[in-house]
Amino acid sequence: MTLLGRSYSNLRHLFLNQYGRISTNRSLSITAARLTKEDPIKEEAKKSEAEPKKISHANRPMENTSPITWRSLIFGGGVLAVVTGYVMYLKNERRKKVERERSRTIGKAAIGGSFELVDTNGNLRKSDEFLGRWLLIYFGFTHCPDVCPEELEKLSKVIENLGKAKYDIVPLFITVDPERDTPEMVKKYLEEFSDKFIGLTGTTEQVDKATRAYRVYYSAGPRDKDNDYIVDHTIISYLIDPKGELVDYFGQTKDAEEIEKTVIFRMKTHKT
Ligand code: NI
């Protein structure tokens, strides 16, 4: 054959082998066996993977690994403490910022102001005389069927606990029913809750001025045949700082413990 002819024959041979067209059953089974047979290198690797613990135990006894483990534990604990401390610091800073913002907003609302009222002994009391002391002010009326008694009971508890913890605060009760709440009436009523409260009443004008300053809404309802009536009113306790400024307020949903904690927080973080 010519050179060309041989080359062609070689090419054809290679091509057919590659695609198995002339492969016999025997050559196919050989190929299959080669494909499924485990790679000797992989087999070796698998063997060494099978017993890694044994090897490491033999090479590194516990006595030698212990100090490293303890050191890394202590170091790890130190890092954790630093990270935790930093996260807590950030949280605290954020809370302070929120509190400052809240104070600023409250300040802007301009709640609070001067008043002149009459106490349960019939003496004139002016707001200025309370400057330099913390105040907890509640507006209500002695004929209130349920809300005021509950609130006063709650506030009495707060005042009692703050007193025990040596925090100085003066609770004021200001009536929103000057018509019926005479000094004697208020005195008798407050005795049921706490002897710490300073009860305040006055003329309708005096009470109006105080409620306007604190933005307290009140409105006497219709009278029944016994001339009895309910006074609808705002249920909020105001925390006033020694400068006479409002620093916080508490709605009906706040319980004694929450109020107490907030008052203490306010006192401790207060800037004079
Ligand atoms: Ni009430």
What does the DSSP assignment read for 169-234? Answer: EEEEEEES-TTT--HHHHHHHHHTT-SS-EEEE--HHHHHHHHHHTT--EEE----TTS---EEE-
Residues 256, 162 contacting (CB under 8 angstroms): no
* 60 CA to centre of ligand 1 in angstroms: 77
* 127 CA to centre of ligand 1 in angstroms: 23
* 205 CA to centre of ligand 1 in angstroms: 20
Architecture of domain 116-268: 3-Layer(aba) Sandwich (3.40)
pLDDT at 70: 64
* 231 CA to centre of ligand 1 in angstroms: 7
pLDDT band with cut points at 50, 70 and 90 for residue 86: confident
Residues 262, 238 contacting (CB under 8 angstroms): no
pLDDT band with cut points at 50, 70 and 90 for residue 84: confident
* 140 CA to centre of ligand 1 in angstroms: 5
* 21 CA to centre of ligand 1 in angstroms: 102
Please write the tens of the pLDDT for every residue from 20-78.
444 444 444 444 445 545 455 555 555 555 544 444 444 444 555 555 666 676 777 77
9-18, 29-38, 139-148, 203-212: least confident range:
9-18
Please write the tens of the pLDDT for every residue from 142-168.
999 999 999 999 999 999 999 999 999
Q: Give CA–CA dist 107/27, Å, rounded.
A: 95
Residue 100: pLDDT over 80: no
Residues 128, 114 contacting (CB under 8 angstroms): yes
What element of type H or E holds 11? helix 3-19
Residue 265: pLDDT over 60: yes
* 167 CA to centre of ligand 1 in angstroms: 27
